[in-house]
């Protein structure tokens, strides 16, 4: 087994998943605005340190996706964040894309930018300790979209990114996210996700990216937030597994689902149900941002005296999602907390 495949498999180790702490500066500002804390560099550093230093997190967290600023920051005692994580057996990762921008000639659709200079950035990030990277493509659903043009453009960019990461010695997390905004139903999400995944893996194959050396970070099959037809936990799990069995090669080590617009408990319940149903050839894990952090952010509130409370809340969510990895999470775990 190659080193890259070993890293990919470590990312989806049983009982563990990813903390997505790669919020861009505008996004983390929105998070801090919600708790009335100024988004200064030191406040951002203190918040991320609270999460990364939480004792016991390594039991449930296999890796952390960092933002460029965070990768270069250190703890109060001067330990670089990547070193802090690595010493605890947690893999440091890095968001490398430059964000989704309007796709020329395709109203309402986006293309992720950041390929220019990526080879050099990958080399720098690897030197700073990153073991894996992440690139997010954004696919919206409306009456006439997504177009084949949009799907092809984003699949091509994801594959080029993945090839450059592997060349530079880091594992690519491939994230084609079909958004859950809008009023579409479960079946429409299924159809668009199926098209997206087939295009993505076609592009990865064409650009010589071995599936054994990547990790997939997709959406679950969910109705839009504005849909009048919401779905049960079982319906979401069944539709998601059915779609992914049709589209994702068995050689892919694991799938780390994003939480999207789900609540913390919804994201945990859906992952848990998929693992209870089982039957797939890959590990089914998580790469959650808000679904691991929302309650912890509120508990911390920007106050040093609330550090322990913030860590306790974060660890609870990590433990719940760790249990969902084996289908052993229960609502009783939430009530105890």
Instruction: Show which residues are catalytic.
Output: 175, 217
Distance CA(320)–CA(17), nearest Å, equals 11
**Nearest-angstrom CA–CA distance, 66 and 226:** 31
Query: Positive or negative, the Cα torsion across 154, 160, 164, 169?
Result: positive
User: Is residue 94 classed as helix, strand or coil in its secondary structure?
Assistant: strand
Cis bond before residue 146 (omega within 30° of 0): yes
The CB-side HSE value for 111 (13 A sphere, CA atoms) comes to 20
DSSP string, 237-302: HHHHHHHHHHHS-TTS-EEEE--TT--HHHHHHHHHHHHHH---SSEEEEEESHHHHHHHHHHHTT
Q: How far apart are CA 64 and CA 225, in angstroms?
A: 28
DSSP class of residue 78 equals S
Which is it for the CA torsion 319, 324, 328, 330, positive or negative? positive
Strand, helix or coil for residue 18 = strand
- What letter does residue 211 receive in the DSSP assignment? G
CA 40 centroid distance within chain: 24
CB 248: neighbour CB atoms within 10 A?
20
In the structure encoding, which two tokens stand for residue 265, read together? 């408990």
For tokens 């390929």, name the residue. Answer: 115
3-class secondary structure, 232: coil
DSSP state at residue 14:
T
CA distance 31 to 167: 35
**CA pseudo-torsion sign 52, 55, 58, 59:** negative
């Amino acid at each position: 087994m190659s080193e890259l495949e070993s890293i990919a498999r470590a990312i989806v180790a049983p009982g563990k998943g990813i903390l997505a702490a790669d919020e861009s500066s505008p996004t983390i500002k929105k998070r801090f605005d919600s708790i009335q804390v100024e988004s200064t560099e030191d406040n951002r550093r203190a918040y991320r340190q609270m999460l990364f230093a939480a004792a016991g997190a390594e039991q449930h967290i296999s890796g952390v996706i960092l933002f460029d600023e965070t990768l270069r920051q250190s703890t109060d005692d001067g330990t670089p964040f990547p070193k802090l994580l690595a010493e605890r057996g947690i893999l440091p990762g890095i968001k490398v894309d430059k964000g989704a921008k309007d796709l020329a000639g395709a109203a309402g659709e986006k293309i992720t930018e950041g390929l220019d200079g990526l080879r050099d950035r990958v080399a720098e990030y690897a030197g700073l300790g990153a073991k894996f990277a992440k690139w997010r493509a954004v696919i919206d659903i409306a009456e006439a979209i997504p177009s084949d043009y949009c799907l092809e453009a984003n699949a091509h960019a994801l594959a080029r990114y993945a090839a450059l990461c592997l060349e530079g010695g880091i594992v690519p997390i491939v994230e084609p996210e079909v958004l859950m905004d809008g009023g579409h139903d479960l079946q429409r999400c299924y159809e668009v996700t199926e098209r997206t995944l087939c295009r993505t893996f076609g592009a990865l194959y064409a650009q010589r990216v071995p599936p054994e050396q990547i990790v997939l970070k997709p959406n679950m099959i969910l109705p839009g937030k504005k849909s009048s037809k919401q779905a049960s936990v079982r319906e979401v799990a069944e539709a998601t597994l059915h779609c992914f069995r049709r589209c994702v090669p068995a050689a892919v080590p694991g799938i780390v689902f994003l939480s999207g617009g789900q609540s913390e408990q919804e994201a945990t319940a859906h992952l848990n149900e998929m693992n209870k149903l089982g039957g797939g050839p890959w590990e089914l894990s998580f790469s959650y941002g808000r679904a691991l952090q929302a309650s912890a952010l509120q508990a911390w509130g920007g106050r040093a005296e609330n550090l322990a409370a913030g860590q306790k809340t974060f660890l609870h969510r990590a433990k719940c999602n760790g249990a969902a990895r084996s289908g052993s999470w229960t609502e009783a775990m939430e009530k105890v907390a």
